[in-house]
């Protein structure tokens, strides 16, 4: 076995490899970019080498820098993780040429599976079923159109160098083929520098089922059963499970044997995944699954296989790479129970899954019954430089229903403040009826995407808690800084305060009425909710709302308040006075009050010419003075307020018109 390895990766996979290496007594070397100087994988490793700027192209993708780091630290082997250089044959070659061990297959095996067309041809020869279609050299549009007619519509155009769903186009009608071909080729050219495509029969209701394979240097190859990765969004996996629901022993052996044949055909060594697509228009059937591609590396979703097979795949990788034979034979491998993995991302499902960034001011994972593979810790930032994965949550139980219940529970117990996450989306997906019934398919998320991604509106109970937080009631009840909180209340000269709560998709006004130190009424337009707070020395507070007791965790940040309540995350943002002023003025034509307040000074009159940056109105709100300025040159067209006026939030204070307009 090796005594020291270098991990040519970052984030959760680097952390995951380091953990196994440490358990095996292997010393570890991390590499890091400028953006990762203080990252978790660096802290976990025995030593770490800086390899350049944040841009991956100049750090994590630099073959030379990584090999130099291994030589400098006298590491004997390099584990590439997934992504980055993990499927780069030239890198594997360069590692070997430097006298180091590449923890993965041979460069020749990587090359054999590198292009989808060549891989499909190879698999056909090895007797592995492939998706019907054309995967030859001919690329003329007329010729491809004939092929598509022969295959029968709908068809799927795929870039032969493709990955990550890029360069893929579904075509339903012959007349659309030419335009889609052009688009796919353009996309492929810019993403992979290779515009060659193949055409496949498009399966209407498929499932993505993949087989984990493993080979060693002695010609042994086994499979470690299947994973169902049918829950996908834009061809990216979201929740994976093992085994696959509805799988029969007959189909499992057929798929397992085909995958082992695929691995043997390229003398495969190490961990690999053979991806199949199963046509389930008539249910799962051993004669309707087809090879799609082989990933010659460890897969993101490998933990579900580890859970049901009871093995550590990274340990197997290291053993095999150091020259040991496979730890188990096919007969020694069995399936135990059921496992799910969910990928928790910093992204906003309600805005088309836009990647999000931010500092994780609070981060909690379930403590029992779940495996967490995280690449970040509380206080770390999700930056725009890399994949916004926060963590993978893996659960394992004796049967599917129990595992699924654990998945939902684990997701609900996960708390992230400081960025937007897909947690609510994952929770809803974990309860989606077709999925719960064991009928996933690759179109499931898209069909149901509106319900799965609708903005979670806070319910009245969550609103009531947030209102009390904003009114200072929790601080008052906790007894910390009584002068400050009481002062804030006394400012209003009574025991009630108006509060406006802002959340994604709207805002609500209410009054918080203090009945006693720990007893409040929160009055909305249509109803009043009694709330009772209980003493507690932890962040998790016990509350009674409308006669029902539960727990709430409250985190105040500079941008607002985040509540974890009833398994949901609710964020209420505070309008930044200055941001609000800028935003209000940025509209250009109208100057708008960012919050309710008193107009103290009006510095202009109707007809005045004003210059960009000039002060127009001074407001007083919440005991602070706020100057609203012009964001561009113009003429004051109309003035809607005078000094001493009270204004409401979003009221138009004055309107401008461009100087040259009449």
Site string for ligand ADP, 104-143 (x = CB under 6 A): ---------------------------x------------
Tell which residue, 464, 83, 407, has the closest CA to residue 240.
Answer: 407
Is 187 one of the binding residues for ligand ADP (CB under 6 A)? no
Tell which residue, 615, 622, 541, 538, has the closest CA to residue 577.
Answer: 622
Q: Are residues 388 and 418 in contact, defined by beta-carbon separation less than 8 angstroms? A: no
Smallest gap from residue 275 Cβ to ligand ADP (A): 5
Enumerate long-range contacts of 89-92, CB under 8 Å, 24 or more apart: 89/114, 90/63, 91/63, 91/66
Segment near ligand ADP (CB under 6 A), from 158-166, 459-467, 542-550, 561-569? 158-166
* Beta bridge partners of residue 610, listed in sequence order: 634
Q: Which is nearer to ligand ADP, 156 or 307 (CB)?
A: 156
Is 303 one of the binding residues for ligand ADP (CB under 6 A)? no
Distance, CA of 517 to CA of 519 (rounded, Å): 6
Contacts of 462 (CB under 8 A, 6+ apart): 563, 565, 566, 568, 570
Segment near ligand ADP (CB under 6 A), from 194-202, 387-395, 524-532, 574-582? 194-202
Smallest gap from residue 245 Cβ to ligand ADP (A): 17
Segment near ligand ADP (CB under 6 A), from 24-32, 196-204, 328-336, 401-409? 196-204
Residues 22-81 touching ligand ADP, rule: CB under 6 A, are none
Smallest gap from residue 353 Cβ to ligand ADP (A): 16
**Where is 276: in which H helix or E strand?**
strand 270-279
- State the pairing for strand pair 540-545/548-557: antiparallel
Smallest gap from residue 153 Cβ to ligand ADP (A): 12
Distance, CA of 133 to CA of 152 (rounded, Å): 9
Smallest gap from residue 226 Cβ to ligand ADP (A): 14
In the DSSP assignment, the letter for residue 234 is: T
Catalytic-labelled residue, pool 297, 371, 476, 574: 297
Is 232 one of the binding residues for ligand ADP (CB under 6 A)? yes
Is 235 one of the binding residues for ligand ADP (CB under 6 A)? yes
Is 292 one of the binding residues for ligand ADP (CB under 6 A)? yes
* 568 three-state secondary structure: strand
Site string for ligand ADP, 263-282 (x = CB under 6 A): ------------x-x-----
Distance, CA of 252 to CA of 584 (rounded, Å): 62
Residues 162-181 touching ligand ADP, rule: CB under 6 A, are 162-165, 168
Please pick, from the candidates 67, 112, 151, 203, the single residue that binds ligand ADP as defined by CB under 6 A. 203
Segment near ligand ADP (CB under 6 A), from 117-125, 198-206, 303-311, 608-616? 198-206
Kindly state the tokens that stand for 574: 């505070």
Q: Is 352 left (phi over 0), alpha (psi -120 to 50) or beta?
A: left
Q: Decide: residue 169, CB within 10 A, 0-12 exposed, 13-18 middle, 19+ buried.
A: buried
Kindly state the tokens that stand for 325: 């034979």
Segment near ligand ADP (CB under 6 A), from 54-62, 201-209, 521-529, 600-608? 201-209
Is 227 one of the binding residues for ligand ADP (CB under 6 A)? no
Is 200 one of the binding residues for ligand ADP (CB under 6 A)? yes
Segment near ligand ADP (CB under 6 A), from 9-17, 44-52, 159-167, 376-384? 159-167
Please pick, from the candidates 11, 80, 206, 472, the single residue that binds ligand ADP as defined by CB under 6 A. 206
Please pick, from the candidates 91, 202, 353, 386, the single residue that binds ligand ADP as defined by CB under 6 A. 202
Query: Is 297 one of the catalytic residues?
Result: yes
Q: Which is nearer to ligand ADP, 151 or 417 (CB)?
A: 151
Q: Decide: residue 192, CB within 10 A, 0-12 exposed, 13-18 middle, 19+ buried.
A: middle
Distance, CA of 67 to CA of 8 (rounded, Å): 9
**Where is 334: in which H helix or E strand?**
none
Q: Which is nearer to ligand ADP, 136 or 165 (CB)?
A: 165
State the DSSP string of 489-539: HHTTTSSEEEEEEEETTEEEEEEEEEEETTEEEEE-SS-EEEEEE---SSS
The C-alpha torsion from 630 through 631 and 635 to 641, rounded to 10°, is -40
Distance, CA of 365 to CA of 554 (rounded, Å): 16
Distance, CA of 558 to CA of 572 (rounded, Å): 11
**Where is 29: in which H helix or E strand?**
strand 27-32
Distance, CA of 275 to CA of 47 (rounded, Å): 36
| Number of residues lying near ligand ADP (CB under 6 A) | 21
Q: Which is nearer to ligand ADP, 73 or 232 (CB)?
A: 232
Segment near ligand ADP (CB under 6 A), from 176-184, 199-207, 602-610, 634-642? 199-207
Residues 437-476 touching ligand ADP, rule: CB under 6 A, are 442
Q: Which is nearer to ligand ADP, 278 or 339 (CB)?
A: 278
Smallest gap from residue 111 Cβ to ligand ADP (A): 16
Segment near ligand ADP (CB under 6 A), from 6-14, 160-168, 496-504, 506-514? 160-168
Is 612 one of the binding residues for ligand ADP (CB under 6 A)? no
Distance, CA of 257 to CA of 273 (rounded, Å): 13
Smallest gap from residue 187 Cβ to ligand ADP (A): 11
Smallest gap from residue 223 Cβ to ligand ADP (A): 18
Distance, CA of 651 to CA of 642 (rounded, Å): 13
Site string for ligand ADP, 627-646 (x = CB under 6 A): --------------------
Smallest gap from residue 134 Cβ to ligand ADP (A): 12
Kindly state the tokens that stand for 635: 């003429």
Is 293 one of the binding residues for ligand ADP (CB under 6 A)? yes
Q: Which is nearer to ligand ADP, 192 or 511 (CB)?
A: 192
Q: Are residues 369 and 386 in contact, defined by beta-carbon separation less than 8 angstroms? A: no
In the DSSP assignment, the letter for residue 464 is: H
Smallest gap from residue 213 Cβ to ligand ADP (A): 16
Smallest gap from residue 55 Cβ to ligand ADP (A): 23
Helices then strands, each counted (H, E), the chain: 20, 39
Residues belonging to the active site: 297
Binding site for ligand ADP (CB under 6 A): 131, 156, 158, 162-165, 168, 200-203, 206, 208, 232, 235, 275, 277, 292-293, 442
């Amino acid at each position: 076995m090796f005594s020291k390895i270098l991990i040519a990766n970052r984030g959760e996979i680097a952390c995951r490899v380091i953990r196994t290496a440490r358990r095996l007594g292997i010393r570890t070397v991390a590499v890091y970019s400028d953006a990762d100087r203080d990252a978790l994988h660096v802290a976990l490793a025995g030593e770490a080498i800086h390899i350049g700027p944040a841009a991956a192209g100049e750090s994590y993708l630099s073959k030379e820098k990584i090999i130099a780091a291994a030589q400098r630290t006298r590491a004997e082997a390099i584990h590439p993780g997934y992504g980055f250089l993990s499927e780069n044959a030239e890198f594997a070659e360069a590692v070997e040429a430097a006298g180091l061990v590449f923890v993965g297959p041979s460069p020749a095996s990587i090359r054999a599976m590198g292009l989808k067309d060549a891989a499909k041809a190879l698999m056909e020869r090895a007797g592995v079923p492939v998706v019907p279609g054309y995967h030859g050299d001919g690329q003329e549009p007329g010729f491809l159109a004939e092929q598509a007619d022969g295959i029968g519509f709908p068809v799927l155009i795929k870039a032969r160098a493709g990955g990550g769903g890029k360069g893929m186009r579904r075509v339903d009608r012959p007349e659309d083929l030419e335009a889609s071909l052009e688009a796919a080729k353009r996309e492929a050219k810019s993403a992979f520098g290779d515009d060659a495509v193949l055409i496949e029969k498009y399966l209407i209701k498929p499932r993505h089922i993949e087989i984990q394979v493993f080979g060693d240097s002695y010609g042994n190859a086994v499979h470690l059963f299947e994973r169902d990765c049918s829950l996908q969004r834009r061809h990216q996996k979201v929740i994976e499970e093992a085994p696959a629901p509805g799988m029969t022993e007959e189909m499992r052996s057929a798929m397992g044997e085909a995958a082992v044949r695929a691995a043997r055909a390229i003398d495969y060594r190490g961990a690999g995944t053979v991806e199949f697509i199963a046509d389930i228009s008539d249910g799962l059937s051993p004669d309707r699954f087809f090879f799609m591609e082989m990933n010659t590396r460890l897969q993101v979703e490998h933990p579900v296989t580890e859970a049901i097979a009871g093995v550590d795949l990274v340990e197997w990788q290291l053993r095999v790479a150091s020259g040991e034979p496979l730890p188990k034979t096919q007969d020694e491998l069995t399936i135990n129970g059921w496992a799910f993995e969910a990928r928790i991302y910093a992204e906003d499902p309600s805005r088309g899954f836009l990647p999000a960034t931010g500092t994780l001011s609070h981060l909690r994972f379930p403590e029992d019954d779940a495996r967490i593979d995280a690449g970040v810790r509380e206080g770390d930032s999700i930056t725009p430089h890399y994949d916004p994965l926060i963590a993978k949550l893996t659960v394992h139980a004796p049967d599917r229903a129990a595992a699924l219940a654990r998945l939902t529970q684990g997701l609900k117990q996960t708390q992230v403040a400081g960025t937007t996450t897909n947690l609510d989306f994952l929770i809803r997906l974990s309860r989606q009826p077709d999925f719960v019934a064991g009928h996933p398919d690759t179109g499931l998320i898209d069909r149901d995407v509106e319900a799965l991604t609708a903005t979670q509106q806070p319910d009245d109970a969550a609103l009531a808690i947030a209102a009390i937080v904003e009114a200072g009631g929790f601080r008052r009840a906790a007894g910390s800084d009584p002068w400050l909180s009481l002062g804030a209340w006394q400012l209003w000269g009574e025991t009630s305060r108006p509060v406006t709560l802002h959340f994604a998709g709207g805002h609500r006004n209410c009054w918080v009425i203090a009945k006693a130190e720990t007893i409040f009424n929160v009055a909305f337009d249509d109803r009043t909710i009694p709330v009772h707070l209980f003493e507690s020395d932890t962040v998790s507070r016990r509350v009674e709302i409308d006669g029902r007791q539960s727990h709430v965790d409250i985190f105040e940040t500079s941008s607002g308040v985040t509540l974890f309540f009833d398994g949901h995350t609710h964020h209420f943002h505070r309008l930044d006075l200055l941001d609000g002023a800028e935003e209000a003025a940025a509209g250009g034509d109208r100057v708008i009050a960012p919050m309710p307040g008193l107009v103290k000074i009006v510095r202009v009159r109707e007809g005045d010419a004003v210059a960009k940056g000039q002060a127009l109105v001074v407001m007083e709100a919440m005991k602070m003075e706020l100057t609203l300025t012009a964001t561009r040159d113009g003429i004051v067209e109309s003035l809607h307020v005078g000094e001493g006026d009270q204004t409401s939030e979003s009221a138009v204070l004055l309107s401008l018109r461009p100087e040259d307009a009449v």
